[in-house]
Amino acid sequence: MCGIVGYIGSRDVVSTIISMMFELQHRGQEAAGVAIASKNGDIYSVVGRGLVSEALNYTNLYKLYKVEGAFGGIGHIRYATSGGYLDSQVQPIVVGEDRFKAAIVFNGTIANYIQLAKEFDIKAINGDALVFAQVLYKLAKEFGNDFIEALKVLPNYVIGGYSIAVLTSEPRIVVAKDPRGFRPLSIAVTNEEFFASSETAALDVIGISNWREILPGEIASYDGSSIEFTRSSIPALVSPCIFEYVYFSRPDSIFNGVSIYIARVRMGEELAKNVPANGDVVIPIPDSGRGAAIGFSRESKIPLEEGIVVNKYIGRGFIAPPTYREFVSKLKYGFIRCVIDGKKVILVDDSIVRGTTIRSIVNRLRVYGAKEVHVRVASPPFEYPCFMGIDIASRDELLAWRTMSLTDIAKVVEADSVGYNTLEGLLKSVGLPLVCHACFTGLYPFKGLTVDDLEKMFSRGPL
């Protein structure tokens, strides 16, 4: 999971890109970068480590603000899923030479990037991002310097998921989504302006309401005056990531026409039907557990209270590098004693992946006087790794894989009980005919590939 944005138009290019990136900060917090193209096709880029405000402060951006005749640009928020963490490849990645250059950003994971590096004779391997960019560039050269044609055939080579934006030296911006549609991507064209964003919420916030989602396998190209659409003809079963609805996306975003907020509230309603709990108060783990807690409270008629306060300056624990996760889980949350003391607490979260955060919170609730703590989870047990954009490359990381029974999981997180939503309840909440739920079922949408095959194929760390 990362965040990507793009803009072409008469506004301040750098400021517009940065504004959208701030709205996607929840999709990554390790690094950020911006690339812009001048009207004569020169490409300039700036990247840095940390949050957008840290990586792209005014000092770093000064060279971009100095560019005369800025045509447009792209931006990226980094959540590393390969190639290390704090030393992972920062995007945009600039490829090419002379008058055929491009800056590339993408959101997703390329599971077979090591194989691709060998096939395309790519020597420098530091995760999938650099390999992916080089593969796309080499394909474009084969098609007479045409990135659109390269994107049409790219699914023939890639095992994984991606939403991508390419800023070329023509200049133009080309955006595309893989044929399975794993990751969100939307665009808007208005008054000779072009906007692209991983999530619709970032467009809404800056006043762009006439957006549309890029369809699975669709490619859109904008050169400053006209928009062109085409598609990859390579067949694939559409399977958007269900975890976008559970955790990743903002509640004010839309993905495949489905409101993230409404889907989460429905998850809570289904959860209350499937695994009710006897309690005095429903407390969400903020922020991504709030929608499900609202639904659970409505269905169960047990009052909802904000008993946990989140520190907005710490960041999201799930997407933090491993060395920071326990630190984040301990410092991120504050607790309201008068809501908790003497109560049977029903604690609602979106998911339990590694168990780091939930165990810490259960312990703190007891310190603040909770009589009982019953954990209810809006999604099924997370038992399998993801190779399409979530930073879990091995089953050994997963609590539900290591401890298979609910009783064992309750002991590990030190709760009085633990209950999960069913897959049927989750699918009903989202309401789409097809989704990728491999993280819950182990059924991957790649023909003939099992979890064992994918684990052998993919390398999380730098090579």
350 a known binding residue? yes
Q: Hey, is 41 helix, strand or coil?
A: coil
Comparing C-alpha atoms, which of 410, 334, 408 is closest to residue 374? 410
- Residue ranges of E strands in 292-451: 308-310, 333-335, 344-349, 372-377, 417-420
Question: Tokens 């309201």 identify what position?
Answer: 336
Q: Is 349 annotated as a binding residue?
A: yes
Q: Which helix (H) or strand (E) holds 54?
A: helix 52-55
Query: For every residue of 178-200, which 3-state class applies, written as one string?
Result: CCCCCCCCEEEEECCEEEEECCH
338 is in an annotated binding site: no
CA distance 80 to 87: 9
Rounded to whole angstroms, the Cα distance separating 403 from 377 reads: 16
Give catalytic residue positions. 2
**Which one-letter DSSP state was computed for residue 111?**
T
Q: Which residues are annotated as a binding site for Mg(2+)?
A: 288, 349-350
Q: Which residues are annotated as a binding site?
A: 241, 288, 349-350, 386, 436, 439
Q: Which residues are annotated as a binding site for [4Fe-4S] cluster?
A: 241, 386, 436, 439
